[in-house]
Amino acid sequence: MIKTIESINGVVRMIDQTRLPTEKVFVDCTTIEEVGQAIQTMIIRGAPAIGVAAAMGVSLGADVITATNFDDFYRAMEQQCEQLGKSRPTAVNLAWAIKRMKQVAKDSRHLPIPELKSRLKEESLTILTEDIKINQAMGQHGQTLVENDNVILTHCNAGALATAGFGTALGVIRASVNAGKNIRVLANETRPFLQGARLTAWELKEDNIPVKLITDSMCGFFMRKKEVDLVVVGADRIAGNGDVANKIGTYMVAVLAKENNIPFYVAAPVSTLDLSLSSGDQIPIEERSAEEVVVINNKRMAPEGIEVAHPAFDITPNNLITAIITEEGIARPPFTDSLKAMAQKK
């Protein structure tokens, strides 16, 4: 199994996803600042994986707080968390994990500080193991939507590498394969960061799941030729009305799926729901560097000085989404009701 992130003797070890697929190397983080940096630079990425990393980062931060009473300890912890929370804005799992760790600290205020630190570490490990179980449950629900011999198109990487393991969208694919279905995957390369080409293609190949790589602009061609049976993608944040923020290009895929009568599914844990937002328009969209758009393999692809835009995510409106697969079941329109029901099951 691919171990995206783990804790080894007080060190948070992650696969460096900027170096895949050519090199499988690990990065060790020993401070909360290093974890924040790893999230910012996309050494670790994908909403659930960011959440797990954040929880582990909070634990590393707590370990070096020297305060001897809870109030001072919590004040220092809040400052660290505020900084960590700024590392990436769109995936709500970052804020979700930080909030959960802060709540654990508050609930454990009666404990001596060394024990409180151990409790935080334990919680971060629980978040990791829970994430794998959640993905497996999501996969079980999702595979009921998949038939034998289906071709599934996916965008970006919502796989083991984007989670603690198994994946969300790729979890649905893995569970379908485990259920004995013959599945083939079309993977969009996902410009500009190439999560599809570098990460999805790599991890499906590792698992011997048939995958064909296409550029993003080719997916309409294959849909129109009726060579795609369904689309499954992940999500970074889902608003209360079912609008989905996911990797840039997802909206385009959803429009094409609708035009071609192809079901469009989103697989995401309940921790990715942000029911405090009534619409996707309220989701902050990360703007990343121009460098990531114009430089490929150290080679500049556009003239110097050219103006470049790089929104890293887009919003897919709920009317383009057939269903949202969570670990608690499959939510269908109207999403305002069905997503609330999923959250209440938790």
Task: Write out the catalytic residue numbers.
Answer: 236
Q: 104: which DSSP letter?
A: H
Q: Which helix (H) or strand (E) holds 308?
A: none
237-239 vs 273-274, strand pairing mode: parallel
Q: What minimum distance in Å lies between the beta carbon of 214 and ligand MRU?
A: 17
256 is a site residue for ligand MRU (CB under 6 A) = no
91 is a site residue for ligand MRU (CB under 6 A) = yes
Given a contact cutoff of 8 angstroms between Cβ atoms, the answer to whether 21 and 38 are in contact is no
46 is a site residue for ligand MRU (CB under 6 A) = yes
Q: Which amino acid is at 215?
A: T
Q: Residue 156 or residue 262: which is nearer to ligand MRU going by CB?
A: 156
Pattern 48-77, binding to ligand MRU, x per CB under 6 A? x-----------------------------
Helices 92-107 and 47-63 pack at an angle, to 10 degrees, of 40
246 is a site residue for ligand MRU (CB under 6 A) = yes
Q: What minimum distance in Å lies between the beta carbon of 96 and ligand MRU?
A: 13
Q: Which residue has the closest beta carbon to ligand MRU?
A: 234
For residues 38, 41, 46, 49, the Cα torsion angle rounded to the nearest 10 degrees is: 0
Q: What minimum distance in Å lies between the beta carbon of 272 and ligand MRU?
A: 7
**Separation CA 213–CA 201 (nearest Å):** 7
Q: Residue 120 or residue 235: which is nearer to ligand MRU going by CB?
A: 235
200 is a site residue for ligand MRU (CB under 6 A) = no
Pattern 301-330, binding to ligand MRU, x per CB under 6 A? -----------x------------------
Q: Residue 174 or residue 247: which is nearer to ligand MRU going by CB?
A: 247
94 is a site residue for ligand MRU (CB under 6 A) = no
Q: Which two tokens stand for residue 21?
A: 């697929």
Q: 311: which DSSP letter?
A: B
Q: Residue 73 or residue 166: which is nearer to ligand MRU going by CB?
A: 166
Residue 247's DSSP bridge partners are 313
Q: How many residues bind ligand MRU (CB under 6 A)?
A: 17
Alpha-helical regions (H) of 144-218 = 169-178, 195, 201-206
158 is a site residue for ligand MRU (CB under 6 A) = yes
Cis upstream peptide for 48 (omega within 30°): no
249 is a site residue for ligand MRU (CB under 6 A) = no
Given a contact cutoff of 8 angstroms between Cβ atoms, the answer to whether 225 and 153 are in contact is no
**For 134, what's the count of Cα atoms within 13 Å in the CB-facing half-sphere?**
25
235 is a site residue for ligand MRU (CB under 6 A) = yes
**Separation CA 154–CA 185 (nearest Å):** 7
Region binding ligand MRU by CB under 6 A among candidate stretches 43-51, 54-62, 101-109, 216-224: 43-51
45 is a site residue for ligand MRU (CB under 6 A) = yes
127 is a site residue for ligand MRU (CB under 6 A) = no
Q: Residue 100 or residue 237: which is nearer to ligand MRU going by CB?
A: 237
Q: Residue 153 or residue 312: which is nearer to ligand MRU going by CB?
A: 312
Phi, psi angle pair for 159, to nearest 5°: -115, -160
Interactions with ligand MRU, residue window 268-287 (CB under 6 A): none
Alpha-helical regions (H) of 46-91 = 47-63, 70-84
Given a contact cutoff of 8 angstroms between Cβ atoms, the answer to whether 230 and 198 are in contact is no
> Which residues here bind ligand MRU, judged by CB under 6 A?
45-48, 91, 156, 158, 162-163, 168, 195, 234-236, 246-247, 312
